[in-house]
Structure 1
Amino acid sequence: MRRFIATALTAILPTALVAEPAEQAGTAPIMAMGAYVPTDDMKGSEAFYRVLFDSDPVIGLPDFVAFGVAGGWFAIVSRSKYAPGAEAGSGAVPYLQSSDLEALQVRAMAAGGAVPEIIKEPGIQLLKITDPNGQLIEFFRLTGQ
């Protein structure tokens, strides 16, 4: 699957956006972070994440949609094609840093998500959003207190 996606993306993205292999770039082997969540409703999930991230996807294929997030990609993929057998909401939890949890909370509500209160702990605040597929996405803000 990774090889297919890399080949497909190399073909459709401008060369300037494709990272050099680590051996050629002289850097650590990990170049960027990405996460994906499987869905049975690509259109509904894309609509939810367009509102939540307040942006258009950088890749919009029928079974693979990716949003540019923090130098990497947050993608939604067709469960039947890329994650057959995966249960809704059972994957790893994407954990993203944000300086404005309140704005994310408002956008999640506007997208139709159930949004709990912002959890305030010493030094960190958390906002746990559940997407329409039952997938948990957690956003955090460091407060230094």
Structure 2
Amino acid sequence: MKLQQALIATLVAGASIAQSTPVMAQSIEVERFGLYVLADDVERSARFYEILLKSAPEVRTPALIGFNMAGGLFGIVSREAYAAHEPRAGSVRPYIKVADIAQAFAHASSVAPGSIEAPGIVSEGPFRFFRMTDSDGNVLEFFEFKPSVD
């Protein structure tokens, strides 16, 4: 009960602080969100993602290939062209919400069976997820969120 009271007090105090904070004159007008992973071989990575995502790229240039994912752009860019000094893999961790984690896991396992991180599907409360790597060592996380109904 004390924890609940402390949280309420903190929220109330925060609300009064937030009200006194000046409003920004103009915000950034975001049109689309995206992210990209670096690849040593853009075409090889594109083939991997075309099979994994069951989708053709929306954008294709020699150094950038982009897939439409839920209105955002998931890009694969040439390390040599855009980030030659960046370390290989691990610079970004895309996480992709799916409707059915078991189906996504089965598909990913069939596409790239050796790339699934142990122990496979992990459950943490309302989240279930698994991680895998692409052909350049980038980690992808697929997740499902199903809040409990009380």
User: TM range, normalised to the smaller chain?
Assistant: 0.7 to 0.9
Displacement of 1:27 in angstroms is: 8.2
Residue correspondence of structure 1 range 104-123 to structure 2 within 5 A: 104-112=104-112, 114-116=115-117, 117-123=120-126
- The number of residues matched between the two structures is 120
Displacement of 1:135 in angstroms is: 0.4
Displacement of 1:32 in angstroms is: 2.2
Bigger-Rg structure (1/2):
2
* Structure 2: stretches of 5+ with no match in the other structure: 1-25
- Tell me if 1:99 matches 2:99: yes
User: 1:134 and 1:36, CA in 2 relative to 1: closer, same or farther beyond 3 A?
Assistant: same
Displacement of 1:49 in angstroms is: 0.3
Decide which moves more: 98-107 or 34-43.
98-107
3-state SS in 2 of match to 1:137 = strand
3-state SS in 1 of match to 2:84 = coil
Displacement of 1:42 in angstroms is: 1.2
* Structure 1: stretches of 5+ with no match in the other structure: 1-25
Decide which moves more: 105-114 or 130-139.
105-114
3-state SS in 2 of match to 1:126 = strand
Identity, in percent, stands at 29
Give the letter aligned to residue 139 of structure 2: L
Match of 1:10?
A: none
Match of 1:90?
A: 90
TM-score (norm 1): 0.75
Residue correspondence of structure 1 range 27-106 to structure 2 within 5 A: 29-106=29-106
User: 1:63 and 1:110, CA in 2 relative to 1: closer, same or farther beyond 3 A?
Assistant: farther
